[in-house]
Amino acid sequence: MPDHFHRDVIISVSSIVLAFAVLGGILFWLGGSIGSKVAKIAEGHGILYGRTRSIEALAEFRQSAPEIKKYGEDMSILLPAQDGILDFRRWLDDTARTHRVVAHSSFEGNTVPASDAAAGSIGFSMDATGSYGDIQGFFHELEETSKQFLLTLNAMTLLRSGPGTEDAFHATAQGQMYFR
């Protein structure tokens, strides 16, 4: 009996170990399969989230399109056409005369052509002579309040014209003028 009992115990224990091994293999295989399916589902949710954000952004753009169009029209008024830069000197002379300043200007450097995405530009330099207050008003109008040209002044020098000239100044400036 002990011989038979010993053999039955070994067979029973071996059967139980084999059953656990087979069950563990099946669970391992199912776990990998479920993990890959979960990863695919998460990836699909990410794609759907991105598409939803894109649709929301498109809706916002469509709502703001009339406002953007208005700003585009305002910019086209503010930015002259490239051939409109020829009026710059006449406008500068008129503005200088209004502020009792004598001004001379010239274009310099390379012209950057305009594109659909950005305005074109050309460099210019100028000299102006007058009283301190007149020169200040002249440059303020050029850079801040001009409705005909969009300008930036990159560098400016202001010096007293000479000894005995308490209120006579000479200014030189370099800048950029923008066009469409």
pLDDT digits (tens, 9 = 90+) for 93-114: 888 888 899 888 888 877 787 7
In whole angstroms, give the CA distance from residue 57 to residue 62.
Answer: 9
Is the predicted pLDDT of residue 164 greater than 70, yes or no?
Answer: no
Is the predicted pLDDT of residue 54 greater than 70, yes or no?
Answer: yes
In whole angstroms, give the CA distance from residue 49 to residue 35.
Answer: 21
Is the predicted pLDDT of residue 163 greater than 70, yes or no?
Answer: no
Are the C-beta atoms of 96 and 138 separated by less than 8 Å? yes
Mean pLDDT of 169-174: 86
Are the C-beta atoms of 128 and 102 separated by less than 8 Å? yes
| CATH class of residue range 82-179 | alpha beta
| Predicted pLDDT of residue 71 | 67
